A and B are shown apart, each in its own frame.
Chain A
Amino acid sequence: FSFSGSRIDSDGKPAKFQPPPKPVIIDKQKQREERRFLSPEFIPPRGRTDPLKFYIERKDMIQRRKVFNIPEFYVGSVLAVTTADPYASEKSNRFVGICIQRGGKGLGATFVLRNVIEDQGVEICYELYSPRIQAIEVLKLEKRLDDNLMYLRDALPEYSTFDMNMKPVSRLDSEEIPVNKLQVRMKPKPWSKRWERPKYNIKGIKFELPEKKMKEAQKWSQPWLEFDMLREYDTSKIEEKIWKEVSEALQK
Chain B
Amino acid sequence: SITGACRAIQKLTRVRVVDNSALGNTPYHRPPKCIHVYNKTGVGKVGDTILLAIKGEKKKALIVGHKMPGPTMTPRFDSNNVVLIEDNGNPIGTRIKTPIPYILRRREGEFSKVLAIARNFV
Contact = CB atoms under 8 A, between A and B. Distances in A.
Interface of A: 83, 85, 87-89, 93, 95, 110, 117-127, 130, 132, 153, 190, 192
Given A87-B102, A117-B99, A117-B120, A123 B75 contact: yes
Contacts of B36: none
A124 B2 CA distance: 25
A13 B27 CA distance: 110
Contacts of B104: 87
Nearest to A88: B102
Contacts of A132: 73
Contacts of A120: 65, 77-79, 81, 98-99
Given A87-B104, A118-B120, 6 more contacts: A93-B122, A117-B122, A121-B77, A123-B75, A124-B74, A126-B72
Nearest to B96: A118
Nearest to B76: A123
Contacts of A118: 97-99, 120
Contacts of B98: 117-120
Interface of B: 2, 5, 65, 69, 72-79, 81, 97-99, 102-106, 120-122
19 contacts: A83-B73, A85-B102, A93-B121, A93-B122, A110-B72, A117-B99, A120-B78, A120-B81, A120-B98, A121-B78, A122-B75, A122-B76, A122-B77, A122-B78, A123-B76, A123-B78, A126-B72, A126-B73, A127-B73
Contacts of A127: 72-73
A140 B3 CA distance: 37
* Across the A-B interface, the 5 shortest Cβ-Cβ residue pairs: A121-B78, A87-B105, A87-B102, A120-B98, A123-B76
Contacts of B105: 87-88
A176 to B, nearest CB: 32
Given A87-B103, A93-B102, A118-B98, A124 B76 contact: yes
Given A88-B121, A120-B81, A192-B5, A130 B73 contact: yes
Contacts of A93: 102, 121-122
A45 to B, nearest CB: 19
Given A87-B103, A118-B99, A120-B98, A190 B2 contact: yes
